[in-house]
Homo-oligomer: A and B are copies of this chain.
C-alpha cells in the first residue's frame, strides 16, 4: 500500500484520460494508475514480462497544472525493463509502469497502440469507443512448488497463486483441464498463464484455459447471424482491436429464402431444425476459419464469443425448434441472455471458450434489435430516438433514457427487392440510384459496380460490362419517391396515365401504367403493382412507428437511426419523401450500418454492456401490433405518399414536395383490403 499522499508530493497526470493525483516519491506508476482508476493492463501481474503496461513520459512545462514533467522525474530503467528490452524490445522512451517509480512531477502518456487501454478505437466503420472490460482475461502466475509438509495439490496451489496475485478466489475448474495441470506447471518452471472467465460480478470465476509460461494472445468473436448474411469480427480481447472481419451468405437460404419459409421447413421435415442448426454453425465456423487465417490468429486463442440474431436465427443457432415463433402467441423458448460455451455450440475456438447471446426483446424483436439498441443507446440519452432495422420485418425501437417501446412490423420483402417486378438483390448491375428530371421525366441511373451516372461518358461501357439487371431494394424507394416528386405518381399511389402523351417513359401495362426506367434486355420498369407493393411495405413500417409514437405520446422524433444493410444504402431524404419514416431534420437521420454487430462487439469487449442491455431489454415495453386495434387505421392512413395525416415540415424545408391532397374520408378501400391481407406475418 502506498503511504498517504500530501500536498507537497509529486503530481502525476495521466494522458489521455487527464486523471491526476499526488503520490509520495517512490510510488510505482502502476500503483498510481490503479489508485486513479487509469486502466493500465497487465497479464504478468507486474513481473515485467508481458510488456502490456508500457507508458511514456511527456517532457515539458504544463502551465495549466503548474508542473514540469521530465524523464528525470521517473526512476531509471531497472533490471526488469532491461530484461524485457533484451528479449522483446522496449522502444526508446517507453517504460514499464510495473517497474518505474515516481521521483517528481510527471505527465504520463498511456499510448493507445501498445498498452491495452480502456478506450480503444475500433477500426470498423463506426467511430464508437468501447471501454474494455471483457468477461475473459489472462492472468500469469508463478505457482509454489509441491511441499510434502503442506501437501496441497498442484491445482490447489495454482488457485492459491491466483488469489494472492490477482485476487481471484476459488475459481471453478472444468474436469477437462485437471489432467493437464501437472505437466503444464512443470513445463515452464511453475509459470503458467490462466484464462479466467467472470461475466457477472457476483459470479464464481472459472478457469477456461491454461498455457505454460506467459501467453499473450486472447481473442473474441462478435457475430451477427442475419437471415441473409452472417457477419463476424475477430477482436483482440487484450487490445480491443478488430484484427479481421468476414461475412458470408447464410447457408440456410437453401432451406427457405425468408424466415417463415424456414420455419415451414422445420414443420415439414423431422430433422429440419437439426439440419439448419448444423448449416448455420458450419457457416460461422467457416467465417472463424477465414478470419483467423486473415488475422494470423490460432483459433485456440479464441476465448469468448458473442452473438446477435433475430429470434428465429437465434433459436436455430441454439438448436431450438422455432415452430412456436411461426404462430401466435409467438412464444420464444428463451428471451433472456444466453450464457453457454463455444464447445456446446460446436464452434471452432479454444475448448474452454464461452458464448454469450444478447437477450431477445420479443417474439419478433430479436437479439439483433437488442444489439442495435445497445450500440445506438436510446436509453443513454434524453432525446426521442427512433431506431429502425429494416429487413423482411422491420424492428422498431423508440425511446430515450426515460422510457423505451419496441415493436416489429411486417414490411414484407418489397424493401429487399422481392415482390417487385424488376426487383433483385443488391448485386453488380442492379440499379442503385435513380433521379427523374422534373420537366422531361427522363431518368438518370447508377448501377452497382459503376461510379458513373447514366448520362456521364463511359457509363455505356460499364453497363455493357455489368449489364443493367434490375432494381435493388434501396433504389425502388428512390424510384418511387422521384416518381412522386416529379408528379408521375399521385399521393394515393396511382401512376398518372395522362402523362404518356408527354413522355415515352410512361407506358401502358395491361389496364394500368408503368414507368420505364431502362430500355434494354431486360426492360426495367416500375409498374402500378410495384407501387402497391412499396405502399404496403412502407405503410406497415410507418404504421408501426406511428403506433410507438402514440405510445410515447409524441408527434415527432428528435433523431433517427437506420440500421442494417437497407438502412445503409437508402437515402434518408427519399425514405422520408415516401413516408417510411416520420418527419425529422435530415441531418438527424443517420445510417448506422450493422448496429446489431456493433452491439455484439460492445458486449464482447465489456461485460458491463451485457448487464446494460439485459437491464434495458427488461424495461423495454413490447408492443404487439397484432393486439392493437388502432394499428389497422394507422396502416390505412400510411398508405398514401407520404401519408394522409402527418405534415412533414422539416422535410419540406429541404425538398420541394408536391402540394398535399386534402385528407378525405375516401380511404383507398382496395388498398386497405390488400393491406389487411398483407398483415399476415411475413418474416
Contact = CB atoms under 8 A, between A and B. Distances in A.
Contacts of A360: 153
22 contacts: A148-B328, A148-B330, A150-B622, A151-B335, A151-B362, A151-B624, A154-B333, A155-B333, A155-B334, A172-B339, A173-B334, A174-B344, A175-B318, A175-B319, A178-B319, A178-B334, A179-B319, A179-B320, A179-B333, A181-B334, A182-B320, A182-B324
Given A334-B153, A334-B154, A335-B153, A147 B178 contact: no
A583 interface: no
A336 B172 CA distance: 11
A555 interface: no
A523 interface: no
A280 B312 CA distance: 44
A332 B204 contact: no
A450 B252 CA distance: 74
B149 A338 contact: no
A423 interface: no
Shortest 10 CB-CB distances between A and B: which pairs?
A: A153-B335, A153-B332, A146-B331, A151-B362, A155-B334, A175-B340, A153-B334, A148-B624, A146-B329, A175-B344
A332 B156 CA distance: 9
A363 B151 contact: yes
A77 to B, nearest CB: 39
Contacts of A176: 344
A330 B145 CA distance: 12
A322 to B, nearest CB: 10
A656 interface: no
Interface string A328-366: 111111111011110011000000000000001111000
Contacts of A626: 148
A321 interface: yes
A627 interface: yes
A179 B331 contact: no
A519 interface: no
Given A176-B344, A329-B147, A340-B174, A152 B319 contact: no
A203 interface: yes
B335 A152 contact: yes
B154 A321 contact: no
A624 B148 CA distance: 7
Contacts of A152: 332, 335
Nearest to A170: B336
B331 A149 contact: no
Interface of A: 146-156, 159, 172-176, 178-179, 181-183, 203-204, 273, 318-321, 324, 328-336, 338-341, 344-345, 360-363, 622, 624, 626-627
A334 B156 contact: yes
Contacts of A338: 175, 178
Contacts of A172: 339
Given A146-B329, A148-B627, A175-B319, A153 B344 contact: no
A6 B658 CA distance: 83
A159 to B, nearest CB: 8
Nearest to A146: B331
Contacts of A181: 333-334
Given A146-B330, A153-B332, 6 more contacts: A151-B624, A153-B333, A154-B331, A175-B318, A178-B319, A204-B204
B151 A320 contact: no
Contacts of A624: 148-149, 151
Given A153-B335, A334-B154, A334-B156, A320 B178 contact: yes
A304 to B, nearest CB: 16
A225 to B, nearest CB: 16
Contact of A321 (B149, B182, B320): B182
A230 to B, nearest CB: 20
